[in-house]
Chain A
Amino acid sequence: MADEVNAITLVEAVTQALAYALENDPEVVLFGQDIGANGGVFRATDGLQKRFGPARVLDTPLAENMISGIAVGMATQGLRPIAEFQFMGFIYPGLDHILSHAARMRNRTRGRLSCPIVYRAPYGGGIHAPEHHSESTEAIFAHIPGLRVVVPSSPARAYGLLLAAIRDPDPVLFLEPKRIYRAAKQPVPDDGEALPLDRAFVLREGSDLTLIAWGASVKEALAAAELLSTEGVEAEVIDPATLKPLDIHSIIDSLEKTRRCVVVHEAARFGGLGAEITAQIQEYAFDLLEAPVQRVTGYDTVMPYYQLENVYLPGVERILSGARAALGYARGGQR
């Protein structure tokens, strides 16, 4: 079955999911900057305006606050707006509406109105972009009650999770790891099948170590796991995919086997999601731990210009050192 399906990239999977949603739900509308004739600067909306018309796929004036705000109004009247921010670094003018309104409309009206919005944005570093184009500030949004934050790490998960986000009755921030937009191809059947939100994916099984990563970092986490395997260490790789609400149970289940954990993320370390995951592991699984949870993250610095971006981004080597640090603790808690 799968081999009859064309292999596509992550960004093509996004387009495929958007097209499926537009085709099958007349309440879905798409808008953002340059998403019409231009198909978006990453071509995520390529061909959609031609296919579905300028009444459903709309170029907006250049104002991010406006983009996030009108989505709230549309959603309260039963539309399913999908709003694109050109880059996550430009989402900040729109924070007000995401945090102050979309995330809490259901709560403050006691369920009368809700905001089934998907806010999409390419995020993360590694594509030699100018300043402000490479940040990973998912923790800001994950902190906000009432929001969902979802990050796919493969074409199939991009398709399935985006459809789930569109169908979800609450607002979802859907962050697309642009470094792997075109890194790999995979056959993704256009069958409209969503993948579950709020559920982690176990991408590789292992019994010695749990590696947690999302977005583009999954690539390096899997590569590190393969290298560790040659040394006889089997790492389990978990992609939480939905960062908020977090599926901590799958992580704890994994720790039952492995008892050691490394969390990897591109975002700065301080107050990043690695801190939250570590805290929850400490709360729920302290007894399981053979070693302190290791964090392999971006530095607490401004994301540098691209000449130094690979210094900033956690690569395979840093993940391996994190893994070795976790493995270096002997059973019983001593090094």
Chain B
Amino acid sequence: MHKPRLQLQASFDIAWLQYLDQQGRATQALPEFASPDWLTHCYSQMQLARQVDDRAVKLQRTGRLGTYPSSLGQEAIGVAVGNALMPEDIYCPYYRETGAFLERGVLIEEILANWGGDERGQNYQHAPKDLPICIPIATQALHAAGVAFALKYRHQQQGIPQQVAVTTSGDGASSKGDFYEAMNLAGVWKLPLVFVVNNNQWAISVPRTAQTATQTIAQKAIAAGIPALQVDGNDVIAVAWAVRDAIARARAGEGPALIEALSYRLCDHTTADDAGRYRSEKELDEAWQREPVRRLDRYLRSEGLWSDARQQDLDRELAQVMETALNNWESRAPEPATAIFDHLYAQLPEGLYEQYDQLRDEQARGAQS
């Protein structure tokens, strides 16, 4: 049979970045930003994220929160992403990002309010331009592209310093058109946009290998013509370096980038899920060997930056932070029922006055009886 002679037209590589190995040993010289203060800050924020998640799951179990998606095992990604953003940048998150929310200044009580069924939980006091938690998979990637357009537009038309948008999603999200469409547009329009895929290996019960036949998720960026990097997502320094570098390039007008952060979901998908139905104990045990918090703890101790005494202080401090947040959350007066009409439109259309009055009167009658 005839075999044509083919010529290589293009070739691509996917690089991998790690600073701390599984045992918490440095695999290469650390970047300048990884100062002792920075490292201990990240460490305590990862611990806090773990506590918030743990408490939220318990609150769900006792019926005080609705369904909750924990980020157990993925704290390094969230904290590194949130930390890499400047306050004026815009974060377009998905739902599994406790560490990033904390770094962005979202209050614990806001996180609890949101999953506790109170829509005021997305009215972030300290991140007023950030997008709220996005539930439909991958749609936030396109919102982020629109945000990045707005930021670039402002920079070009009004001379405002270049801000950057960062969006996060899971590995499952990378199967959706939104994800490809956002990368495609960001490439064509050179948008200041960083995509971070939190590859925790599972999309509910569907493993990464059943989600896509690609060898990496990072390589999906190649089709969009944008640079990509795969990083150890259990290594807060590696994630932070990659995101900082991508943000710096986006800020300098060099356009978008994709970062695939490899990690593992150590918890159920959400409190409504039972991961025991689809994955093995062995796989989970192995994943625990790679998890990010203990890895950083080991590194810090080996450098003399951490001790049992400091850990005890931190535990006390974080317990206090949690208690204050819980009190603030619980002592908040509930929203009046008529709030369902308050923010539907900027102004209530006349045609809705009747329904509004009906609800208000029903509530008043209920209060009397």
Tell me which residues across on chain B come within 8 A of A108, comparing CB atoms. Answer: 119, 122, 132
Q: Which of B92, B182, B345 has the most CB of A within 10 A?
A: B345
A66 touches B132 (CB 8 A): no
Q: Does A74 contact B (CB under 8 A)?
A: yes
Number of interface residues of B (CB under 8 A): 47
Interface hub of A26, A63, A146, A247 (most chain B Cβ within 10 A): A63
Among all A-B residue pairs, the 8 with the closest Cβ atoms = A73-B146, A69-B142, A70-B146, A245-B349, A77-B150, A73-B143, A169-B346, A66-B181
Residues of B within 8 A of A97 (CB): 139, 142-143
A271 within 8 A of B: no
| B 166-182 binary contact with A (CB < 8 Å = 1; else 0) | 00000000000110011
Residue-wise, chain B 95-138 has the 8 Å CB interface mask toward A (1 for contact) of 00000000000000000000000011011100011011000100
The answer to whether B261 has its CB under 8 Å from any CB of chain A is no
* With known contacts A145-B344, A249-B350, A55–B157 Cβ distance under 8 A: yes
B139 CB contacts on chain A under 8 angstroms: 69, 96-97, 100-101
Do B349 and A198 have beta carbons less than 8 Å apart? yes
Interface centre among B128, B131, B342, by most chain A C-beta atoms within 10 angstroms, is: B131
Least CB distance, A173 to chain B, in whole angstroms = 14
Q: Does A335 contact B (CB under 8 A)?
A: no
Question: Given known contacts A65-B142, A76-B129, A247-B351, is B123 in contact with A112 (CB within 8 Å)?
Answer: yes
Chain B neighbourhood of A247, CB < 8 A: 350-351
- Asked whether any CB of chain B lies closer than 8 Å to the CB of A114, the reply is yes
Contacts of B143 in A (CB 8 A): 69-70, 72-73, 76, 97, 101
Type the 1/0 row for A45-74, where 1 means its CB is closer than 8 Å to any CB of B.
000000000010010110101100111111
A295 interface hit (Cβ, 8 Å): no
Cβ < 8 Å to A, chain B residues 308-365:
339, 342-346, 349-352
A108 to B131, CA, bound (A): 10
Most interface-central of A63, A110, A111, A168 (chain B CB within 10 A): A110
Interface check B90, CB cutoff 8 A? yes
A114 contacts B153, C-beta separation under 8 Å: no
Residues of chain A with a CB closer than 8 A to B153's CB: 29, 55, 79
Judge whether A113 is part of the interface by a CB distance below 8 angstroms: yes
Q: Return the chain B residue nearest A83 by Cβ.
A: B146
A77 contacts which chain B residues (CB < 8 A)? 90, 129, 146-147, 150-151, 154
- List chain A residues, Cβ under 8 A from B156: 55
What is the chain A residue whose CB lies nearest that of B157?
A26
Residues of A within 8 A of B150 (CB): 73-74, 76-79
Q: In the complex, which residues of chain A have a beta carbon less than 8 angstroms from the beta carbon of B351?
A: 198, 245-248
CB < 8 Å: which of B132, B148, B151, B342 contacts A109?
Answer: B132
- 30 pairs, A vs B, C-beta closer than 8 Å: A26-B158, A55-B157, A63-B184, A65-B181, A66-B181, A66-B182, A69-B139, A70-B143, A70-B145, A70-B146, A73-B145, A73-B147, A73-B150, A74-B147, A74-B150, A76-B143, A77-B90, A77-B150, A81-B146, A96-B136, A97-B142, A100-B139, A107-B343, A109-B119, A110-B120, A112-B122, A114-B346, A169-B345, A169-B346, A246-B351
Give B152 Cβ to nearest chain A Cβ, in Å: 9
Q: Is the CB of A66 within 8 A of B346?
A: no
Most buried by B among A71, A81, A109, A249: A109
Is A170's beta carbon under 8 Å from chain B?
yes
Name which residue of chain A comes closest to B152, CB basis. Answer: A55
Partner of A71, one of B90, B146, B182: B146
Whole-angstrom CA separation of A125 from B143 in the bound complex: 32
Within 8 A of A (CB), among B256-295: none
Most interface-central of A63, A72, A73 (chain B CB within 10 A): A73
Q: Is the CB of A111 within 8 A of B349?
A: no
Q: Which listed residue (B122, B146, B165, B189) contacts A75, Cβ 8 A?
A: B146
Q: Which residue of B lies closest to A73 (CB)?
A: B146
Instruction: Give every chain A residue within 8 A of B129 (Cβ-Cβ).
Output: 76-77, 113
Whether the pair B352, A73 counts as a contact (CB closer than 8 A) is no
The residues of B that contact A168 with a CB separation of less than 8 Å are: 346
- B144 interfacial contact with A, CB 8 Å: yes
Q: How far is the CA of A313 from the CA of B346 in the complex (A)?
A: 36
> Considering only CB atoms, which chain B residue lies closest to A105 in the complex?
B132
CA distance A55 to B154 in the complex (A): 11
